[in-house]
Chains A and B, each alone.
Chain A
Amino acid sequence: MTIERRQFIQTLGATGLLASMSSTLGFSLSHAASGARVIVIGGGFGGTICAKYIRKFSPSTAVTLIEPKKNYFTCPGSNSVIANLRPMTHISHNYNKLGAEYGISVLHDKVSSIDSTTKIVTLKGGGIHNYDFLVLSPGIDFKSDTIEGYNPNDETFPHAWKAGEQTRLLRDQILSMDDGGTVIIAPPTRPFRAPPAPYERASLIAHYLSENKPRSKIIILDGNNDFSKQALFIQAWKKLYPGMIDWVGIKDHGGFSAVHTPYREIVTNSGNHFKGQVVNIIPPQEAGLIAIQSGLADDSGWCPVKPDTFESTIQKNIHVIGDSCQAGDMPKTGHAANAEGKICAAAIVASITGRPIMDITYNMSIYSLISPKYGISMSENYQMIDSRITKVSSASSSLKAKKKTRRKEAQYAAGWYKSITSDMFK
């Protein structure tokens, strides 16, 4: 800051004028003097990126990232942990560099409430923080009471749809299962986090079972009648795990009428009883609890946002990114949350500087492993059309690809993981 400017601020500050004038302009004192204050809630795929890119795009903007966990376990890669191909440490990351190298102030605490009128965030630990712009990337939470007899917090049936302790629980159940046992995987009706991930999970568990417990079986009781990259998965299952994976769509089982945890049993509306030694129910989902409690979601359970800035259409100066938001055609994936984090960061910086928002094409790609040496991908491009994030092109790996290409894509999947987690944490 130049001397003149500092003096100017001091003069104005002394006369109390800056405060009154700036409030007419919607700027707080510190906002004009030292840059805006941004608070980001949630240090996952969306939140880390938004925080870091605001600092990159606008070094004078103060950014606080609030995340309860000191170690963040990524969901991407967690299916490899469940199949005992990778240790838990492979998917563990910390926030040290975000503070030390990017000057983000990282608070390991949980946001308990948001006051959008006074622009204040209150933390569980008692802290109170003011913001000019607030970003939420709280991921997902599970709807309660959707299946009779089932509670997502019951560790008998770990969902492992948030990574960490849940991942470890499911892995340990798979490892201690008998040869000849059955694993049930039950994905919910869409929309849910990571559309191809239940099928990647089935594939990698099948890989483990075929090497270690070859008489075992996997049954997928799907809440849908089709699924992401279906033809590619089915082709690969036939080739790599013949007869091991049965997939049952909802029109054949009719949905679940009850879950009997002690018997490890799911009863379907079609009257069938499915028993599994390991039962992995992936519960129906909605926006992260803090977004719901703050009134940012609509009846769908997800948060409506403006497609070019990710600002909530319900509350001003609050942006929602990642799985919690409704992002037009973009699915709920880590790669999408990364793109949304950058778009939101650029939009907030544009708003601070009074510059126009840039309209670009963006991409979301998702790799899935069918075995450690067999990868497939799906990739989509989006543009803003009629004020909606619209898919303009998409493609998946070829059904005709050779073994060598599948192997390459498995290696690219590992490269993607390394790069996206560096983008977040390094």
Chain B
Amino acid sequence: MMNRIAISILPLLTMLIWSTNSMAQGPSRAEFMASSCLVCHGQEAKGALKIPPLNDLKVSDIKESMIGFKTGEERSTIMGIIAKDYSKEDIILLAEYIAALPD
């Protein structure tokens, strides 16, 4: 008896959990990846002391820099290694997310 009720209400309960969680979606891939950049580039990528801000750059600037760092064409102290293992798709996601942060 108990079981039957539980089963018949189960879809409702699932809906309940899902709708509660509409406020709790979790991060996008871009936000998740970009959270690691903030460790140096500061909150909202506003920069910190001599580490440059990123939030005032255009999508294409960030993309070009990251690809430049990755290939070694753009000189750097540390970004060469940080950019190295991101795919082109992930670089685009990162660039779009970071460029959209408030200036």
Q: Which residues of A contact B (CB under 8 A)?
A: 1-2, 5, 8-9, 12, 17-18, 20-22, 24-25, 27, 32-35, 53, 56-61, 335, 338-339, 342, 346, 349-350, 352-355, 358, 360-363, 365, 377, 379-381, 383, 392-395, 397, 401, 405, 408-409, 411-412, 414-416, 418-420, 422-423, 426
Contact residues of A: prevailing secondary structure? helix
B81 within 8 Å of A (CB atoms): yes
Size band of the interface chain B makes with A: 35 or more
Q: Per a CB cutoff under 8 Å, which of B24, B29, B42, B47 touches A353?
A: B24
Closest to B77 in A: A409
Contact residues of B: prevailing secondary structure? helix
Q: Which residues of A contact B82 (CB under 8 A)?
A: 363, 365, 379, 381
Q: Which residues of A contact B86 (CB under 8 A)?
A: 361
B84 within 8 Å of A (CB atoms): yes
26 A-B pairs within 8 Å (CB atoms) are namely: A17-B5, A17-B6, A18-B13, A21-B10, A24-B6, A57-B24, A57-B27, A58-B25, A59-B23, A59-B24, A346-B32, A353-B21, A353-B26, A363-B36, A377-B78, A379-B81, A381-B81, A395-B81, A412-B40, A412-B77, A415-B47, A415-B50, A416-B40, A419-B43, A419-B48, A426-B43
With known contacts A32-B13, A60-B24, A383-B85, A419–B6 Cβ distance under 8 A: no
Q: Which residues of A contact B77 (CB under 8 A)?
A: 377, 397, 401, 405, 408-409, 412
Closest to B38 in A: A423
Q: How far is the CB of B24 from chain A (nearest CB, A)?
A: 4
User: Once bound together, how far apart are the Cα atoms of A350 and B27, in whole Å?
Assistant: 9
Q: How far is the CB of A407 from chain B (nearest CB, A)?
A: 10
What are the 6 tightest A-B residue pairs by CB atom distance, in nearest-first order?
Answer: A415-B51, A58-B24, A411-B50, A415-B49, A415-B48, A395-B81
A419-B39 in contact (CB<8A): yes
Q: Per a CB cutoff under 8 Å, which of A22, A342, A377, A416 touches B13?
A: A22
With known contacts A24-B6, A32-B13, A419-B39, A412–B19 Cβ distance under 8 A: no
Q: Which residues of A contact B2 (CB under 8 A)?
A: 20
B33 within 8 Å of A (CB atoms): yes
B50-A412 in contact (CB<8A): yes
Q: Per a CB cutoff under 8 Å, which of B10, B17, B32, B80 touches A32?
A: B17
User: Once bound together, how far apart are the Cα atoms of A342 and B38, in whole Å?
Assistant: 12
User: Once bound together, how far apart are the Cα atoms of A392 and B29, in whole Å?
Assistant: 20
A423-B16 in contact (CB<8A): no
User: Once bound together, how far apart are the Cα atoms of A405 and B76, in whole Å?
Assistant: 10
Q: How far is the CB of A233 from chain B (nearest CB, A)?
A: 17
A393-B48 in contact (CB<8A): no
